[in-house]
């Protein structure tokens, strides 16, 4: 399999027209990171930084992106973590796992939606059982994620 095992951060104001492989272009202005897919397929991967998208950790030398990057939209469907400038290839997700991940993403974004937060009065309209269902859905997804993380950390040891 083509691809690389490390990535180097480059802090930029604007992203250049041609991207280099193995470089993560970090734009604080646009709060996003862009890099070429680490499998070597040449697709551009944009990871927006926000509380509900990706979080970037920079220790002065290397970067870590959380959570993992799943390129389900590309043919390669590659899935990897960027941790301390290293590319940790992760197992590909099944279609079901991708759907669940997307559902969780939508759920998470809803919780963070500021327009919904400020209108707390209108919350009374939502039926309690719907909220409960969502919490259950969230919990089971979180359990699965936790299991995955455990497996992931095990294979690092
Ligand atoms: Zn790829």
Q: What is the pLDDT of residue 127?
A: 46
Q: Which long-range contacts (CB under 8 A, 24 or more apart) does 75-81 make?
A: 75/41, 76/37, 76/39, 76/41, 76/43, 78/3, 78/37, 78/38, 78/39, 78/41, 80/38, 80/39, 81/152
CA of 81 from ligand 1 middle (Å) equals 13
What is the arithmetic mean of pLDDT over 4-12? Answer: 94
What is the arithmetic mean of pLDDT over 129-154? Answer: 58
CA of 138 from ligand 1 middle (Å) equals 29
CA of 118 from ligand 1 middle (Å) equals 40
CA of 77 from ligand 1 middle (Å) equals 6
CA of 71 from ligand 1 middle (Å) equals 7
Sheet order of strands, 55-58 included: 55-58, 63-70, 79-83, 86-89
CA of 17 from ligand 1 middle (Å) equals 19
Q: What is the pLDDT of residues 33-43, one digit of tens each?
A: 999 999 999 99
Residues contacting 52, CB < 8 A, separation 6+:
105, 108, 109, 112
CA of 67 from ligand 1 middle (Å) equals 17
CA of 45 from ligand 1 middle (Å) equals 9
Residue in 39, 31, 30, 84 with CA at minimum distance from that of residue 22: 39
What is the arithmetic mean of pLDDT over 98-116? Answer: 85
Q: What is the mean pLDDT of the chain?
A: 82
Does residue 154 have a pLDDT over 60?
no
Residue 126: which pLDDT band, with cuts at 50, 70 and 90? very low
């Amino acid at each position: 399999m083509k691809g690389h095992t490390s990535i180097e951060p480059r802090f930029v104001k604007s992203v250049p027209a041609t991207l280099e492989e193995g470089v993560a272009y970090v734009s604080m202005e646009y709060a996003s990171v862009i890099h070429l897919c680490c499998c070597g397929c040449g697709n551009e991967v944009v990871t927006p930084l926000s509380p509900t998208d990706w979080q970037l950790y920079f220790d002065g030398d290397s970067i870590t992106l959380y959570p993992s990057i799943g390129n389900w939209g590309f043919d390669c469907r590659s899935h990897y973590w960027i941790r301390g400038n290293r590319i940790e290839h992760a197992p590909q997700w099944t279609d079901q796992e991708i759907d669940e991940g997307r559902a969780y993403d939508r759920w998470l974004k809803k919780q963070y939606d500021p327009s919904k937060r400020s209108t707390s009065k209108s919350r009374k309209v939502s039926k309690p059982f719907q909220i409960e269902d969502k919490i259950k859905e969230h919990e089971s997804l979180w359990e699965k994620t936790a299991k995955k993380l455990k497996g992931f950390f095990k294979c690092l040891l």
